[in-house]
Structure 1
Amino acid sequence: MIRYGIVGCGHIAKKHVAAIQAVDGAELVAVCDTNENRLAEFAVDGVQGFTHIDDLLKTDVDVVCICTPSGLHPELTIRAAEAKKHVVVEKPMALTLEDADRMIEACEKNGVKMAVVHPNRFRPAVQELRKKLENGSFGKIGHANATVRWNRNQAYYDQAPWRGTKEMDGGVLMNQAIHNIDLLLWMMGEVDEVTSYHATRIRQIEAEDTSVSIIRFKSGALGVLEAAVTIYPKNLEESLSIFGEQGTAVIGGPTANWIKTWNFADVSEEEKAATIQRVEEDPFGVPGHQCIIQDMTEAIKEDRKPIISGDEGRQALSLVIACQLSAETGKSVKMADLARQPVVE
């Protein structure tokens, strides 16, 4: 059995508990939170509870799931790595590239694996889209569009002091849109340059609540990234659209779980209908967190990198950072300037 521990017993930790319980060969053995009331909800059925991560790290856990506010991810990940524990870290992996690089370096130096939680890759509609890209059905791609039009009202931000801050939350791109950004990059490949505009239009928060960016990919394709938490009165859509010379596809809905458009020169109407029906019968599929835990469990046993490694997580973070830099400076940002630098001993 691969033994898991969870640090941070907030809302997202419940998904990790369910995921660990659903995976053969995985077992939840310990949890940690500074709030004893929250801790008590999770430290049940033989699961040990700790109020300090150092005490959890002294146990025989193999993997630590970091489920704390985003700004705490780096130090907790590094501490776990130095204790020779593998790490599953929630999104975003960090709020700065310097911290992300320290996390990756700590895991490499200590011979442990790190997986970043980007569970949307495992959605059935997203998997179908990926297949069409891999088999070349789009032909030459012209452009892509990633959109997150959601509602996070003022009460959402007021319920915890870290929400909406630059230090712990990071803003709409970092906290809400980063999964969609991960999908955009997974489909479209590396980015060459980005130009962005940010604004805090409606919510009383420190970070941005609205963002629009223009992207040029290394392939030459263009992209538009739009994200907002100001949509009235509730979440409207999360979508990913790809447009090529021989194909047009749109994955959408309130979350990107449904095929909205599916037109390809090499796909018959019958095959198109069958694909859409297959997705609609099970739009959510196996929970993404379960897929992440399954993959980490197998990666340890097979001694390989997790599918969504620290380097993969850094790519999404890099684009967010580039967008933020562009918005702050009023200039385009070259992604090459944000490449991972070797750590000097």
Structure 2
Amino acid sequence: MTVRFALVGCGTIAAKHVEAVSRIPDAAIVAVCDRDAEAARRMGERLGVPFFADVHQMATKVVFDAFTILTPSGDHAAQVLDLARYGRHFVIEKPMALRIDDADAMIAACDAAGAKIFVVKQNRYNPPVVATRQALDSGRFGKMVMGTVRVRWARHQPYYDQRPWRGTWAQDGGVLTNQAAHHIDMLIWMMGEVESVQAMTTTRLAKIEAEDTGIAVLRFTSGALGVIEATTGARPRDLEGSLSLLGENGAVEIGGFFMNELKTWNFATEMPDDSTVFDRFGTTPALPAWNLEQYLRGVITSLREGRAGLVDGLGGRRSLELINAIYEAAETGRTIPLRFRPQRCRLGGQ
């Protein structure tokens, strides 16, 4: 059975989905849609599939299994709530929404329609990440002490100026919501539930509404601590996108641009496979969109076997709640407990 995807949004990220799907024999993109009719036409003609400017026309005229939502983050919730009626599944680029209430509404609507939500977190498939998660699950770290993620990327003003929604509260958020979303997801996937957060943000170089630089300190329910450091103000070029985990019995650091290179693998008790871990899991293959391909293969398996996806709606909501809490902490100067209801967080507001 071929799983058929219909793209909603034909912008920059769509090219990666096209690349990834092209390498999966039992998957196909069968239609595309964009409010920019010319963008939809270009993508449709390139792929040889029907193209639309109206998503409802696409949903009624083409048979497919899942919408792939590739629009600006601020549009995700309204689109999913509008399209859930068709009973198709949803693959949604990160973040799934900007507001917690919207994420809850999306989950409820899809549950009612019998539709699955898959939030794209492809870096969980990076080989260094896979090895680290295996070590964590087998108890090699022991009691966790601290987890840290760093996003030190360069986004110059032309990047923001390319799209009017970039860096806006209503449609995008800042570095924490956009560039660091994968790293925040990774930190809590490894370290567990968050108890509370403190944070500071600032806009140092980019001329945008939201922040280009932010830091947060987390306390996990386990008692361990976490640090998030994120900026698009690295100059003159990207520096790193990294994850480090420290436990009583070991330490792992994953670096590179997107947590794709194993840097440190130290454990108090060595295992036979440790001698080859860098050979087997040291780097993510350089093939474009390789980890996205693996993620979509997981989506296909989930749909065929009726199993939950690696990151479902609840998983996507989890990292979104933390991002909202970070903004709330930065705005109020207070320690914000999880769970909470946003009061001062501007993300997703007009």
Counterparts of 1:328 and 1:267, CA distance in 2: 45
Match of 1:198 among 181, 197, 201: 201
Q: Deviations over 1:35-94 (max 9, x none)?
A: 233212221343110001111111211100000111111111122211111000000111
State the shift of 1:271 in Å: 4.0
TM-score, normalising length from structure 2? 0.93
Does the 8 A contact of 2:261 with 2:284 survive in 1?
no
Bigger drift between 329-338 and 117-126 goes to: 329-338
* Structure-to-structure mapping, 1:1-345, within 5 angstroms: 1-44=2-45, 45-58=47-60, 59-267=62-270, 271-280=273-282, 282-283=284-285, 287-338=290-341
Q: Which one-letter code corresponds to 2:330 in the other structure?
A: A
State the shift of 1:158 in Å: 1.0
The structure-2 alpha-carbon separation of the partners of 1:130 and 1:78, relative to structure 1 and needing over 3 Å to count, comes to: same
Does the 8 A contact of 2:151 with 2:229 survive in 1?
yes
Q: Deviations over 1:265-297 (max 9, x none)?
A: 1225x7434111223465457822212221222
Q: Which one-letter code corresponds to 1:227 in the other structure?
A: A
Q: Deviations over 1:201-253 (max 9, x none)?
A: 12111000110111000111001111000011111011111111110110012
1:216 counterpart SS class: strand
Q: Deviations over 1:146-204 (max 9, x none)?
A: 11111111111111110111111111100000000111011011100000001111211
- The sequence identity of aligned pairs, in percent, is 42
Does the 8 A contact of 1:92 with 1:175 survive in 2?
yes
1:100 counterpart SS class: helix
Does the 8 A contact of 1:43 with 1:49 survive in 2?
yes
1:299 counterpart SS class: helix
Q: Which one-letter code corresponds to 1:6 in the other structure?
A: L
Bigger drift between 212-221 and 259-268 goes to: 259-268
Counterparts of 2:293 and 2:15, CA distance in 1: 12
Counterparts of 1:241 and 1:281, CA distance in 2: 16
State the shift of 1:23 in Å: 2.0
Q: Which one-letter code corresponds to 1:11 in the other structure?
A: T
Bigger drift between 137-146 and 281-290 goes to: 281-290
TM-score, normalising length from structure 1? 0.94
1:213 counterpart SS class: strand
Does the 8 A contact of 1:194 with 1:322 survive in 2?
yes
Does the 8 A contact of 1:124 with 1:284 survive in 2?
no
Q: Which one-letter code corresponds to 1:238 in the other structure?
A: G
Does the 8 A contact of 1:258 with 1:283 survive in 2?
no
Does the 8 A contact of 2:125 with 2:291 survive in 1?
yes
Counterparts of 1:129 and 1:204, CA distance in 2: 38
For 2:346, the equivalent position in structure 1 comes to: none
For 2:348, the equivalent position in structure 1 comes to: none
Q: Deviations over 1:14-52 (max 9, x none)?
A: 111122222232221100012233212221343110001
Does the 8 A contact of 1:257 with 1:284 survive in 2?
no
Q: Which one-letter code corresponds to 2:280 in the other structure?
A: R
Unaligned runs of 5+ in 2: 343-350
Counterparts of 2:13 and 2:284, CA distance in 1: 23
The structure-2 alpha-carbon separation of the partners of 1:55 and 1:153, relative to structure 1 and needing over 3 Å to count, comes to: same
The structure-2 alpha-carbon separation of the partners of 1:267 and 1:338, relative to structure 1 and needing over 3 Å to count, comes to: farther
Bigger drift between 271-280 and 168-177 goes to: 271-280
Counterparts of 2:307 and 2:275, CA distance in 1: 37
